[in-house]
Amino acid sequence: MASPNCPALFISAPASGQGKTTVTAALARLHQRHGRTVRIFKTGPDYLDPLVLQQASGAIAEPLDLWMTGEAGCREALALAAQQADLILIEGAMGLYDGTPSSADLAIAFGIDVVAVFNARGMAQSIAALAHGLASYHPRLTLTGIVANQIGSARHHDLIETALPAQLPLLASIKRNPSNALPSRHLGLIPPDQHNDLEAIIERVADELEGTALAQLPRSVSFPIPQQADVLPQQLAGVRIGIARDQAFSFIYPANLRLLEAMGAELHFFSPLHDQQLPRVDALWLPGGYPELYAGTLADNAPMLAALNDHYQSGRPILAECGGLLYVLEELIDIEGQCHPMAGLMSGSAAMRERSGCQGMQSAPLPEGQLRGHAHHRSVASGTPEPIAYGIRPSHPAPGEAVFRQGRLTASYIHLFFPSNPTATAALFTPDKVDAS
């Protein structure tokens, strides 16, 4: 089969906080208005920005990362999108050259042109120097132009446009408007279902991009279709996996769900906030999220806490990641200093704090095998059991997050990307004996 071609554009910036997500979402909405099918990807590990991008495009926004998802995984996802879409957009992470691998590495690997978003507040002609630096830093990267965000006036626009060289045009500018700021809290953006103004923001910024160079389709890119992947063994055939999913537990990669189903698992979602019993399952996955924002409600749901203890005492598998780890400890102290009892499956207390904890990419060296993932949290756990291992950072010698194992409970601050090791993932969730009743 011939390699599918699809217009594609990489939206990056010199740093975080420039407006990449707003521009990417508005650009997706603009092309959707023109009757085009848009597929969006987000560079690196992220659960919150993709929800905004999904809202704008109407399609799931998947992570792309040369380390976590792997080059083969990125290639497969892009080739599939190219067969379905009229336009592929990729939002970068942090600054264009930040991280190893960086957004630039991803754009170069697949030959995708880059547009850089600048927060122009407090700058004018200096943007030209910064853009020149981004464009010339790597000889194989193609920076096709810039977007100036937070423009104060028509004169501000003209100063930037005049200073830029011809090969780095000002493709669009967005007026300064405090109402267009995407609200955030610790760990990232507020999800769309908790943000009533998101649609209006996307529409307003899309209006500003209408009629600019960004309203035209970018250059087409060829995305070769990978060789037929091996069929995954049905190691989870007949295994019923209960997955916590509600406002408190929502950090779930769609690729993780697809992998579990592809290996034969039956997925059953439940809400630790609202349900009083577990579905009839053989294993549990407690993903990350914001349990600290709902600690009182979680603590008051005594029937669910009892059901979790019954599941644990029966020796059935549990994977608890980050927010899930907080939930299985004895207590959680919220940012106001209030102490809330949690499930108590494992000894220890977690306390919220003002600054972030250990962050970045890490591998979890589990007895079942090594899985890749990342950590990003605003709490610290103490009084926990002795870890069985520590996360391995790909580019730093310091140990990463602790990995705990108690019976069939596996808990850590690390968010795992299941496709990085399907066999190890299946072993994590496989019960000693599947209940056939």
| Span 266-302, pLDDT tens digits | 999 999 999 999 999 999 999 999 999 999 999 999 9
Q: How confident is the model at residue 414 (pLDDT cuts 50, 70, 90)?
A: very high
Q: Give residue 395's pLDDT.
A: 82
Q: Look at 357 and 329; give whichever has higher pLDDT.
A: 329
Amino acid in position 133: G
Please indicate, yes or no, if residue 434 is contained in any of the structural domains: no
CATH number of the domain to which 257 belongs:
3.40.50.880
Annotated active-site residue in 6, 74, 322, 358: 322
- What's the total number of domains in the chain? 2
With a cut of 50, say whether residue 227 has pLDDT above it: yes
Contact (CB, 8 A) for 88 and 6: yes
31 with 163, same domain: the answer is: yes
Does the annotation count 339 as an active-site position? no
24 with 163, same domain: the answer is: yes
Q: How confident is the model at residue 433 (pLDDT cuts 50, 70, 90)?
A: confident
Q: Give residue 185's pLDDT.
A: 46
The pTM score is 0.91
181 with 80, same domain: the answer is: yes
Percentage, residues of the chain above pLDDT 90: 80
Read off the pLDDT of residues 107-143 as tens digits, 9 standing for 90 and up: 999 999 999 999 999 999 999 999 999 999 999 999 9
Q: What is the 3-state secondary structure (H, E, C) of 137-167?
A: HCCCCCEEEEEEEEECCHHHHHHHHHHCCCC
247 with 298, same domain: the answer is: yes
205 with 305, same domain: the answer is: no
Read off the pLDDT of residues 45-89 as tens digits, 9 standing for 90 and up: 877 788 888 888 999 898 999 999 999 999 999 999 999 999 999
Strands 114-119 and 62-64: unpaired
Please indicate, yes or no, if residue 283 is contained in any of the structural domains: yes
Say how many Å lie between the first and final Cα of the chain, rounded: 45
Read off the pLDDT of residues 359-390 as tens digits, 9 standing for 90 and up: 789 999 999 999 999 998 889 999 999 999 99
Q: Give residue 198's pLDDT.
A: 86
Mean model confidence pLDDT for the chain: 92
Please indicate, yes or no, if residue 235 is contained in any of the structural domains: no
157 with 258, same domain: the answer is: no
398 with 276, same domain: the answer is: yes
Examine the fold and report which residue of 162, 195, 222 is the final residue of a domain before the chain moves on. Answer: 222
> Which residue segment(s) compose the domain that 145 sits in?
5-222
CA pair distance 215, 208, nearest whole angstrom:
10
26 with 133, same domain: the answer is: yes
Q: Vertex 20, ends 413 and 182: CA angle to 5°?
A: 75
Please indicate, yes or no, if residue 248 is contained in any of the structural domains: yes
252 with 204, same domain: the answer is: no
Please indicate, yes or no, if residue 81 is contained in any of the structural domains: yes
CATH number of the domain to which 86 belongs:
3.40.50.300
Please indicate, yes or no, if residue 28 is contained in any of the structural domains: yes
154 with 214, same domain: the answer is: yes
Please indicate, yes or no, if residue 40 is contained in any of the structural domains: yes
248 with 207, same domain: the answer is: no
31 with 177, same domain: the answer is: yes
Q: Give residue 286's pLDDT.
A: 98
Q: Give residue 178's pLDDT.
A: 82
Examine the fold and report which residue of 193, 222, 251 is the final residue of a domain before the chain moves on. Answer: 222
